[in-house]
């Protein structure tokens, strides 16, 4: 009851006209930041941070977190409408959100995304409220080996849960790892895979790759298909929105599973991006409609959006309780706390309970305001799809070019985005999945750093990855997921067992 009483005190702080107005302004700013690829929540919060120096800390953190929620929601908008993820964690939403929009159901796709995102975010805030002390103690147990085990599980889940060819998934992931290693080695300081191109010394930005793979790659495919934009049949009525909101509880199993994955990956070092990918892979594996994933399946939208937002909410808990940011945005916010004279960590809960619980209470209100605002703007966003491709195509190109240039203000990045656009086009023509490539690019360098730090700590002994129950369990699950395709083949008798019926029939005919 102690947490509940403090939460009520927090609502007394957050539920003032001044703070509610700040939440609404922050969410609207976040929507703009999330819609524009190349900015993203970390950059948006960084740009807004100087404006908070004259504000009191509670108002300042409410503004920044509200912008964070808005950016997460806004990132889903361009993912569904244009196949351009506004946020890294929105990449998985494109796999089914964009195909559903192309079928003339953009309003339904957006409503599914926003409603499930609100449920995921609310779940994450409830976890912060109820389990803050236990979560803080659990997260303290993570070292380099545990960090690598989490990333290894994310990679293995995508190979083990792949609906298509595991070989193509593995090839795509290996190419992603190669792209992630470009630049300066963080441990040895040597350049890798730069081919004496100075612009590659800083590495390849994930946002550049995403803009090219999804935005420009899809444009190339659309031009090949005859400049036809399939989403022009979107309906603009509120009945579709209300009917879709009523449809969401039908996917309660997916909601619960994805929310749990998101909370866990938000508290541990996985983060929202890994959570959305893992949730999508598990959803495709265990859903009765798994074969429809990638073709506009509603569960393929619900799963990553729920996990993304629950992880985004829970990522703030390690920052508050331990002083360890769970995401890039949380790291920027932690810098703000220090500028405001606050020290994130366990003592913050006792020295400034009004700040901590006012922030937690504002999370409930901020997410509620975000859901209402984005649902209210669904018809506006869907109206964009009624424009002909001759209008929408150049607009998407301009957004991609601006987004690519904004990342580091380098013209070279525009050409790099175009190169990734060609890669994305080739991948789709050859039916190679883009998701493993993107996942490897996002987490590849982090996984490599964690692996090498763990090996340095253990003097090169791989036994460190099985040194305690926690890391052993995660590594064991990862190995099981990695071997799952082979186990499935053996179980069905398609490798060493009896031949499948189709194979036996073909053999009889040849005889």
What is the Cα gyration radius of the chain?
Answer: 23
Percent helix, strand and coil across the chain, each to the nearest 5: 80, 0, 20
Q: Is residue 461 packed enough to be buried (19+ CB in 10 Å), middle (13-18) or exposed (0-12)?
A: exposed
pLDDT band at residue 110 using 50, 70 and 90 as cut-offs: confident
Residue 322: pLDDT above 50? Answer: yes
Round to whole Å and give the CA distance between 354 and 42: 25
Phi/psi at 184 (5° precision) = -85, 130
* pLDDT averaged over every residue in the chain: 78
Give the count of domains, the chain: 1
Most distant CA atoms of the chain, gap in Å: 85
Round to whole Å and give the CA distance between 352 and 49: 21
Phi/psi at 192 (5° precision) = -135, 130
What was the pLDDT predicted at 500? Answer: 45
What was the pLDDT predicted at 232? Answer: 38
What was the pLDDT predicted at 1? Answer: 44
pLDDT band at residue 180 using 50, 70 and 90 as cut-offs: confident
What was the pLDDT predicted at 47? Answer: 65
Q: What HEC string does 401-435 produce?
A: HHHHHHHHCCHHHHHHHHHHHHHHHHHHHCCCCCH
What was the pLDDT predicted at 306? Answer: 92
Summarize pLDDT for 341-380 with one digit per residue, the tens: 777 766 677 778 788 888 888 888 888 888 888 777 766 7
- Stronger pLDDT, 163 or 464, i.e. the higher one: 464
Structural domain harbouring 70: 2-140+148-508
Q: Which of 101-115, 229-243, 256-270 has the lowest mean pLDDT?
A: 229-243
Q: Is residue 316 a contact partner of residue 330, using CB atoms and an 8 Å limit?
A: yes
Summarize pLDDT for 452-492 with one digit per residue, the tens: 889 988 888 888 999 888 889 889 988 988 888 787 777 76
Residues in the chain, overall count = 511
Q: Which of 449, 474, 475 is nearest to 462 (CA)?
A: 475
Helix intervals (H) in 323-429? 328-339, 346-351, 353-376, 378-383, 389-408, 411-429
Q: Is residue 376 packed enough to be buried (19+ CB in 10 Å), middle (13-18) or exposed (0-12)?
A: exposed
Residue 27: pLDDT above 80? Answer: yes
What was the pLDDT predicted at 302? Answer: 92
């Amino acid at each position: 009851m102690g947490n509940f009483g403090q939460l009520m005190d927090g609502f007394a702080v957050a539920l003032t006209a001044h703070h509610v107005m700040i939440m609404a302004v922050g969410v609207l700013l976040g929507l703009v930041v999330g819609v524009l690829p190349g900015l993203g929540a970390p950059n948006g919060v960084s740009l807004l941070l100087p404006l908070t120096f004259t504000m009191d800390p509670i108002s300042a953190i409410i503004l920044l977190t509200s912008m964070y929620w808005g950016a997460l929601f806004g990132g889903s908008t361009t993912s569904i409408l244009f196949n351009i993820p506004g946020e890294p964690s929105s990449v998985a939403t494109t796999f089914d959100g964009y195909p559903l929009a192309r079928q003339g159901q953009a309003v339904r796709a957006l409503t599914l995304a926003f409603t499930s995102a609100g449920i995921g975010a609310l779940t994450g805030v409830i976890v912060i409220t109820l389990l803050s002390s236990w979560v803080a103690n659990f997260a303290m147990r993570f070292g380099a080996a545990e960090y690598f085990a989490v990333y290894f599980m994310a990679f293995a889940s995508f190979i083990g849960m792949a609906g298509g060819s595991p070989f193509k998934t593995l090839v795509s992931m290996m190419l992603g790892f190669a792209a992630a290693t470009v630049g300066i080695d963080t441990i040895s300081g040597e350049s890798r895979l730069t081919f004496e191109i100075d612009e590659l010394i800083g590495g390849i930005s994930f946002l550049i790759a995403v803009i090219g793979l999804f935005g420009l790659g899809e444009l190339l495919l659309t031009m090949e298909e005859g400049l036809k934009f399939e989403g022009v049949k979107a309906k603009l009525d509120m009945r579709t929105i209300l009917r879709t909101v009523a449809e969401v509880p039908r996917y309660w199993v997916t909601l619960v599973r994805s929310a749990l994955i998101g909370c866990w990956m938000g508290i541990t070092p996985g983060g929202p991006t890994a959570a959305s990918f893992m949730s999508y892979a598990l959803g495709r594996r265990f859903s009765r409609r798994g074969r429809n994933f990638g073709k506009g399946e509603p569960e393929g939208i619900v799963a990553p959006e729920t996990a993304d937002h629950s992880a985004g909410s829970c990522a703030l808990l390690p920052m508050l309780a331990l002083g360890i940011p769970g995401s890039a945005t949380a790291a920027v916010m932690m810098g703000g706390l220090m500028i405001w004279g606050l020290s994130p960590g366990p003592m913050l809960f006792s020295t400034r309970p009004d700040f901590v619980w006012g922030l937690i209470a504002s999370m409930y209100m901020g997410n509620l305001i975000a859901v209402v605002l984005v649902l209210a703007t669904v018809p506006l966003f869907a109206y964009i799809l009624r424009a002909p491709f001759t209008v929408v195509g150049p607009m998407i190109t301009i957004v991609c070019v601006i987004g690519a240039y904004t990342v580091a203000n380098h013209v070279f990045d525009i050409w790099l985005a175009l190169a990734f656009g060609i890669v994305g086009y080739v991948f789709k023509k050859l039916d190679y999945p883009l998701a493993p490539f993107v996942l490897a690019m996002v987490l590849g360098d982090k996984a490599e750093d964690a692996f090498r730090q763990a090996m340095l700590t253990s003097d090169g002994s791989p036994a460190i990855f099985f040194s305690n129950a926690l890391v052993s369990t995660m590594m064991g699950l990862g190995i099981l997921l990695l071997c799952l395709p082979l186990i499935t083949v053996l179980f069905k008798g398609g490798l060493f067992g009896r031949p499948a019926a189709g194979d036996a029939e073909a053999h009889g005919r040849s005889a």
